[in-house]
């Protein structure tokens, strides 16, 4: 520990002996370093934050999903720092005042691209940061320039999303209008060709549509008519069965019915029992049959004399029967007509297959063209509605949460720190030079150092003795050294004061 302390004392003594050299080198290094720091222009940074609202109920209803709008915003954000947009920024700010040719513009675009950052902080929140630090402008102008650059970027961000979307939509609509016009011409030509063909072969192609299509339609109609005819015939058979089991007259209470009335009641009772599920072997059914046989003999013996009133149910069933017979007759006639038409068309189809094939081809081509035209028309109208929503209702809305900030202090360089660092380096360079010079010369500060260097024992040492004049001269030199050191510190303090004064002027 004592050895280290001794070495430090020796080093400090060597530096002190050459203090004027150390001070001179410190002044030279500090002046050069401070001059270099003063030449570095200040850079000022301005920031702004934009919130993009992509939630819109009307846009969702017409098919503009949030994913589509988010992709559009990402595309705009990624292309915001393109060369074209950066050139707009340069021409719209003070940066373009000194641009005279394309080479200078290219160099300015490359430099500006390094000083602009567009960062997505969240899904809908973007931060735009611009740094300005050009030697041809002052600090105040650089601070204002950084703010102007950010404001111009916000304007381009809005313009790229809105007007850029409008331009893309307009070009798409123009393309679809052109396609619709071409399809309309083709469709009109196909219609004229079909009409000319049908007029030329009107005897072979009656009606509208192709022969095969009409034949298929007639067969479908025949199948439907046959099914309806079977149902009508079944309904007619059912009503006939009901009529067979319904008496034409009924015996009214209190009237003298005679054997005929009793016979009618017995027959009605028999029908009712059978309707309830009684078989012919049932005792009640057997008794009723015997009674009916006896009453029939009495009625036959009495002749045509009847008792009772007409049955209204029987009359109603007769009316329903007439309607169903008419329906069966109409369906039968319709079936016969369809069968004749199908036979006629099949005969024409087999007699003129080339005409039928040509008609089918023409109708097929016309159907394809019409389907394409209708689809393009629907798509065009959907795009038009989407464009109106995006342009008039602002499907994507911008809100500038934080406007471009006005820089108060430079972000680079950190001049106070650099000035202090230069001062430390200057002092270190002066001390290091003095120490190195002391090491290079073969002098010894202490007797112990001399003994270690020579290996010989030192018998004694002579102390320095100064006269009064020499002592006064040394004091004067110390004052000069202190003044030089204080002057170096004073220059440092003055530079710091000037730096903070310049910052105050910018603020």
Q: Supply the DSSP string of 83-107, one letter for each residue.
A: HHHHHHHHHTSGGGGG--SHHHHHH
Query: Which tokens sit at 415?
Result: 């001049």
Place of tokens 């691209």: 113
pLDDT tens, the chain, 507 aa long: 556 766 676 667 667 778 888 889 999 999 999 999 888 877 888 889 888 765 554 444 444 455 555 565 666 566 677 888 888 888 888 888 878 888 888 888 888 888 888 887 766 778 888 888 655 555 567 778 888 888 888 888 777 655 545 555 667 777 778 888 888 888 888 888 877 776 666 555 545 455 566 777 888 888 898 889 888 888 888 888 787 777 776 655 444 456 666 777 777 777 777 777 777 777 777 777 878 887 777 777 765 555 556 677 777 888 888 888 888 888 898 888 888 888 877 666 555 566 667 777 777 888 888 888 888 888 777 777 666 655 554 445 667 888 888 887 777 788 889 999 999 999 999 888 887 877 766 565 566 665 666 667 766 666 666 678 878 888 888 899 899 899 999 999 999 988 888 777 655
Backbone torsion region of residue 457, taken as left when φ is above 0, otherwise alpha when ψ lies between -120 and 50, otherwise beta = beta
| Max Cα-Cα span within the chain | 191
Distance CA 388, CA 403 (A): 29
Going by C-alpha positions, the residue among 328, 310, 330, 331 that lies closest to residue 320 is 328
> Phi/psi at 125 (nearest 5 deg)?
-120, 125
Provide the angle, in degrees to the nearest 10, between the axes of the packed helices 211-244 and 312-351: 160
Strands 44-53 and 249-250: unpaired
Instruction: State the Cα–Cα distance between residues 22 and 12, nearest whole angstrom.
Output: 12
What is this structure's pTM? 0.45
- For residue 58, the model assigns a pLDDT of 42
Task: Give the residue among 325, 425, 385, 377 at the shortest CA–CA distance from 181.
Answer: 377
* CA atoms of 393 and 55, how far apart (whole Å): 12
Three-class DSSP category at 245: coil
- Domain boundaries for CATH 3.30.1890 within the chain: 42-181+382-412
Query: What distance in Å separates the CA atoms of residue 322 and residue 312, rounded to the nearest whole number?
Result: 16
Query: Distance (Å, rounded) from C-alpha 53 to C-alpha 206?
Result: 62
Which pLDDT score is estimated for 393? 46
C-alpha 41/C-alpha 47 separation (Å) is 20
Q: Cite the beta strand spans of 292-364 per DSSP E.
A: 309-310
Q: What is the pLDDT of residue 397?
A: 62
8 A C-beta contact, residue 40 and residue 502: no
Architecture of domain 42-181+382-412: 2-Layer Sandwich (3.30)
Q: In which element (H, E) is residue 188 found?
A: helix 139-200
366 preceded by cis ω (within 30°)? no
Contact 347, 224 (CB under 8 A): no
């Amino acid at each position: 520990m004592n050895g280290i302390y001794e070495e430090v004392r020796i080093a400090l003594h060597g530096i002190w002996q050459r203090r004027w050299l150390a001070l001179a080198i410190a002044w030279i290094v500090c002046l050069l370093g401070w001059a270099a720091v003063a030449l570095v222009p200040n850079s000022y940074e301005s920031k702004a934050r934009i919130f993009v609202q992509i939630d819109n109920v009307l846009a969702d209803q017409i098919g503009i999903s949030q994913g589509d709008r988010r992709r559009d915003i990402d595309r705009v954000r990624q292309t915001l720092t393109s060369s074209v947009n950066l050139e707009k920024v340069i021409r719209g700010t003070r940066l373009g005042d000194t641009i005279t040719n394309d080479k200078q513009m290219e160099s300015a675009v490359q430099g500006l691209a390094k000083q602009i950052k567009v960062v997505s902080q969240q899904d809908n929140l973007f931060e735009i940061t611009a740094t300005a630090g050009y030697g041809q402008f002052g600090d105040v102008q650089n601070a204002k320039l950084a703010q102007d650059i950010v404001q111009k970027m916000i304007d381009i961000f809005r313009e790229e999303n809105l007007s850029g979307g409008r331009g893309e939509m307009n070009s798409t609509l123009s393309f679809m209008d052109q396609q619709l016009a071409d399809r309309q011409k083709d469709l009109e030509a196909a219609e004229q060709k079909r009409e000319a063909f049908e007029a030329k072969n009107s005897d072979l192609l009656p009606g509208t549509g192709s022969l095969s299509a009409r034949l298929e339609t007639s067969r479908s109609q025949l199948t439907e008519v046959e099914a309806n005819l079977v149902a009508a015939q079944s309904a007619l058979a059912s009503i006939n069965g009901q009529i067979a089991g319904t008496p034409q007259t009924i015996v009214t209470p209190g009237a003298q019915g005679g054997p005929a009335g009793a016979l009618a009641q017995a027959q009605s009772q028999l029908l009712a029992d059978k309707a309830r599920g009684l078989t012919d072997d049932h005792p009640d059914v057997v008794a009723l049959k015997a009674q009916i046989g006896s009453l029939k003999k009495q009625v036959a013996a009495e002749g045509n004399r009847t008792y009772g009133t007409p049955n209204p149910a029987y009359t109603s069933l007769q009316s329903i029967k007439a309607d169903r017979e008419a329906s069966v007759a109409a369906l039968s006639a319709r079936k016969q007509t369809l069968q004749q038409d199908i036979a006629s068309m099949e005969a024409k189809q087999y007699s003129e297959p080339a005409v039928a094939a040509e008609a089918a081809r023409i109708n097929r081509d016309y159907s394809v063209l019409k389907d394409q035209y209708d689809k393009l028309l629907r798509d065009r109208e959907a795009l038009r509605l989407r464009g109106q929503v995006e342009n008039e209702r602002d499907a994507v809305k911008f809100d500038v949460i934080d406007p471009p900030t006005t820089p108060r202090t430079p972000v680079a360089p950190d001049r106070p720190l650099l000035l202090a660092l230069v001062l430390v380096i200057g002092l270190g360079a002066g001390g290091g030079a003095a120490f190195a010079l002391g090491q290079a010369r073969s002098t010894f500060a202490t007797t112990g150092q001399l003994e270690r260097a020579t290996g010989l024992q030192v018998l004694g040492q002579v102390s320095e003795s100064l006269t009064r004049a020499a002592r006064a001269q040394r004091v004067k030199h110390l004052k000069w050294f202190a003044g030089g050191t204080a002057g170096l510190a004073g220059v440092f303090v003055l530079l710091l004061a000037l730096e903070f004064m310049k910052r105050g002027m910018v603020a």
